[in-house]
């Protein structure tokens, strides 16, 4: 009886606290305002990674792919960057004689092949894409001649080629870090010089902790020749966890901050740093986590936090078609995370700078973007309190000060709860709209909320597990 009463009191208190949560943020009136850290925003910060063997299927045999990419091009004016690579890049041999995109056999459609070949058509297919392309080539099998053949064909066939990777997650090859770095430097020089091109390699691509496998450590081993061939340094990142821990703003902040010194090392030698392959959890995703709306909220906060950390681009990985929990889309269904990524693209579109308005120490987040004239463009508000559909959904108020307009409009990212999944019939909405299963066509009426600004302030209400993009121009 006593403990029952105590539990009840705690719950009431918790509910009262949640309902009463109110946060406020001052929006700096221009880039460079003191007390804030500003990051430059890449023109194309949110990208897609396609597992190497599956890339031709995504591009020729999954209807949603082009529409999902085109939706973002329409929002930002830029086709999202893509990267083709992953585990199967190191199982792939280039066959200049095959007329097929890719040749392999698998016991089940859910499997990834253990060996495969690919032909010139694979690379010219990548060359049909108007956005930038990174292609991951094989290093693990050790056939430098074959990789150089493929690299030459990639350079010839892909006008928008940004970089080539030489090997995927070489931290899993059983080499010491010193041996891996020496081999990587050697291949950068050999492939780069065979191509006659500097700034062409996306280096790194490890998954393990940057304390051993980081750009900083690799850079320390590079001479100026090796470094001249590097265009970008990449790391892979799959934070994992439960829906609640994944989407919590404090988790996003600490996960991304773990890369700060590695990012700084790359920037110190004048090269961008990217999350070259990323998503919510390894191995194609976690079934109870990766397809949920909570993972969509993570995708949004994580994409934006990466920009804040000077990580130029994040490539969200897409694996085996039909066996991919974290995929933003598949042949038949949309994944909830597409909505979070789309909100990130909308928030960052055309921005030249970004800052975080919160301290990263609570479930509540706010970011502001700035245009090329240094004026505030948009604000992103995020309530990462977890609501799983049980009990009452709390809400919090977010007050923004420093606003100059008389009213502002906003688009909301929401769903029934953090566990909502489109493939189970519970569709998220972004500005009142949904994306159609099978083809990624937007559906419904685009809806903006309008909020009055008084005394340069406006207050917005966000339910637990919701985000809002406020348009200041």
Q: How far is the CB of 276 from ligand NAG (least distance, A)?
A: 19
* Residue 459 near residue 451, CB atoms below 8 Å: yes
* Residue 164 near residue 135, CB atoms below 8 Å: yes
* Piece of 113-121, 142-150, 423-431, 460-468 that binds ligand NAG (CB under 6 A): 142-150
Q: How far is the CB of 391 from ligand NAG (least distance, A)?
A: 6
Q: Which is nearer to ligand NAG, 387 or 398 (CB)?
A: 387
Q: Which of 12, 24, 30, 61 binds ligand NAG (CB under 6 A)?
A: 61
Q: What are the C-alpha distances in Å from 419 to residues 252, 334, 336, 381, 423?
A: 18, 15, 10, 20, 12
- Residues in region 311-370 near ligand NAG by CB under 6 A: none
* Residue 310 near residue 263, CB atoms below 8 Å: yes
The strand pair at 116-118 and 102-103 is best described as: antiparallel
Q: Which of 166, 215, 226, 351 binds ligand NAG (CB under 6 A)?
A: 226
* Piece of 46-54, 183-191, 197-205, 440-448 that binds ligand NAG (CB under 6 A): 183-191
Q: How far is the CB of 150 from ligand NAG (least distance, A)?
A: 8
Q: Which of 14, 19, 20, 40 binds ligand NAG (CB under 6 A)?
A: 40
Q: HSE of 215 in the Cβ direction (CA atoms, 13 Å)? A: 31
d(CA 122, CA 370): 39
Q: How far is the CB of 419 from ligand NAG (least distance, A)?
A: 6
d(CA 171, CA 279): 18
- Residues in region 377-396 near ligand NAG by CB under 6 A: 388, 390
In this chain, which residue has its C-beta nearest to ligand NAG?
146
Q: Which is nearer to ligand NAG, 209 or 225 (CB)?
A: 225
Q: Which is nearer to ligand NAG, 285 or 431 (CB)?
A: 285
* Residue 404 near residue 423, CB atoms below 8 Å: no
Q: How far is the CB of 442 from ligand NAG (least distance, A)?
A: 24
Q: Which of 39, 75, 216, 442 binds ligand NAG (CB under 6 A)?
A: 39
Q: Which is nearer to ligand NAG, 11 or 212 (CB)?
A: 11
Q: How far is the CB of 321 from ligand NAG (least distance, A)?
A: 7
* Residue 224 near residue 266, CB atoms below 8 Å: no
* Piece of 67-75, 80-88, 223-231, 274-282 that binds ligand NAG (CB under 6 A): 223-231
Query: Burial of 441 by CB count in 10 Å (0-12 exposed, 13-18 middle, 19+ buried)?
Result: middle
Q: What are the C-alpha distances in Å from 433 to residues 388, 422, 430?
A: 22, 13, 5
Q: Which of 37, 114, 452, 454 binds ligand NAG (CB under 6 A)?
A: 37
Q: Give the DSSP H/E element, type plus range, for residue 415.
A: none
Residue 186 within binding range of ligand NAG, rule CB under 6 A:
yes
Q: How far is the CB of 453 from ligand NAG (least distance, A)?
A: 30
Q: Give the DSSP H/E element, type plus range, for residue 74.
A: helix 64-76
- Residues in region 261-320 near ligand NAG by CB under 6 A: 264, 309-310
d(CA 20, CA 125): 54
Residue 223 within binding range of ligand NAG, rule CB under 6 A:
yes
Residue 9 within binding range of ligand NAG, rule CB under 6 A:
no
d(CA 200, CA 461): 47
CA 140 to chain CA centroid, Å, is 26
Q: How far is the CB of 285 from ligand NAG (least distance, A)?
A: 18
Number of residues that bind ligand NAG (CB under 6 A): 22
Q: How far is the CB of 432 from ligand NAG (least distance, A)?
A: 26
Residue 143 within binding range of ligand NAG, rule CB under 6 A:
yes
Who's near 385: CB < 8 A, 6+ residues apart?
A: 18, 21, 363, 394, 396, 464, 465
Q: Which is nearer to ligand NAG, 55 or 347 (CB)?
A: 55
Residue 185 within binding range of ligand NAG, rule CB under 6 A:
yes
For helices 177-195 and 144-157, the axis angle rounded to 10 degrees is: 50
d(CA 473, CA 182): 50
* Piece of 37-45, 234-242, 344-352, 430-438 that binds ligand NAG (CB under 6 A): 37-45
Q: How far is the CB of 212 from ligand NAG (least distance, A)?
A: 20
Who's near 10: CB < 8 A, 6+ residues apart?
A: none
Q: What is the DSSP letter of 454?
A: B
Footprint on this chain of ligand NAG (rule: CB under 6 A):
37, 39-40, 57, 61, 143, 145-146, 149, 185-186, 189, 223, 225-226, 260, 264, 309-310, 388, 390, 419
């Amino acid at each position: 009886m006593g403990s029952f009463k105590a539990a009840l009191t705690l719950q009431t208190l918790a509910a009262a606290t949640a309902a009463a949560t109110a946060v406020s943020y001052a929006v700096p009136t221009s880039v460079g305002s003191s007390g804030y850290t500003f990051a430059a925003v890449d023109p194309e910060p949110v990208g897609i990674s396609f597992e190497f063997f599956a890339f031709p299927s995504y591009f020729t045999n999954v209807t949603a792919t082009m529409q999902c990419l085109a939706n973002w091009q329409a929002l930002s004016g830029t086709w999202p960057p893509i990267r083709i690579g992953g585990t199967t890049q190191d199982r792939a041999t280039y066959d200049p004689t095959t007329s097929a995109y890719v040749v392999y056999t698998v016991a089940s459609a859910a499997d990834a092949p253990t060996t495969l070949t690919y032909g010139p058509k694979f690379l010219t297919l990548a060359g049909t894409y108007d956005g930038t392309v990174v292609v991951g080539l094989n290093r693990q099998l050790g056939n430098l001649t074959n990789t150089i053949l493929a690299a030459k064909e990639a350079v010839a066939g892909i006008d928008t080629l940004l970089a080539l990777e030489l090997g995927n997650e070489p931290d899993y090859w059983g080499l010491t870090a010193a041996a891996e770095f020496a081999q990587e430097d050697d291949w950068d020089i050999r492939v780069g010089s065979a191509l006659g091109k500097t700034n062409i390699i996306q280096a790194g691509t490890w998954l393990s902790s940057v304390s051993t496998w980081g750009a900083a450590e690799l850079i320390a081993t590079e001479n100026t020749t090796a470094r001249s061939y590097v265009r970008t340094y990449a790391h892979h990142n799959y934070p994992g966890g439960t829906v609640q821990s994944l989407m919590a703003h404090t988790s996003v902040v600490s996960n991304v901050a773990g890369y700060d010194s590695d990012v700084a090392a790359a920037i110190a030698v004048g090269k961008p740093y990217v999350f070259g392959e990323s998503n919510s959890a390894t191995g194609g995703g976690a079934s109870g986590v990766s397809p949920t709306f909570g993972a969509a909220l993570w995708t949004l906060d994580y994409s934006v936090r990466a920009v804040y950390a000077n990580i130029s681009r994040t490539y969200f990985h897409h694996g085996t078609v039909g066996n991919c929990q974290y995929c933003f889309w598949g042949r038949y269904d949309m994944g909830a995370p597409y909505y979070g990524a789309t909100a990130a693209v909308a928030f960052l579109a055309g921005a030249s700078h970004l800052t975080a308005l919160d301290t990263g120490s609570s479930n509540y987040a706010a970011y502001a973007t700035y245009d090329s004239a240094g004026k505030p463009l948009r604000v992103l508000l995020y309530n990462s309190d977890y609501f799983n559909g049980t009990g009452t959904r709390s809400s919090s108020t977010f007050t923004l000060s420093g606003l100059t307009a008389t009213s502002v409009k906003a688009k909301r990212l929401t769903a029934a709860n953090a566990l909502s999944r489109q493939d189970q019939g519970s569709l998220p909405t972004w500005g009142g709209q949904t994306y159609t299963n099978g083809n990624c066509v937007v559906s419904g009426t685009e809806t903006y909320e309008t909020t009055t600004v008084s005394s340069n302030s406006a207050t917005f209400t966000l339910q637990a597990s919701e985000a809002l993009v406020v348009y200041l121009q």
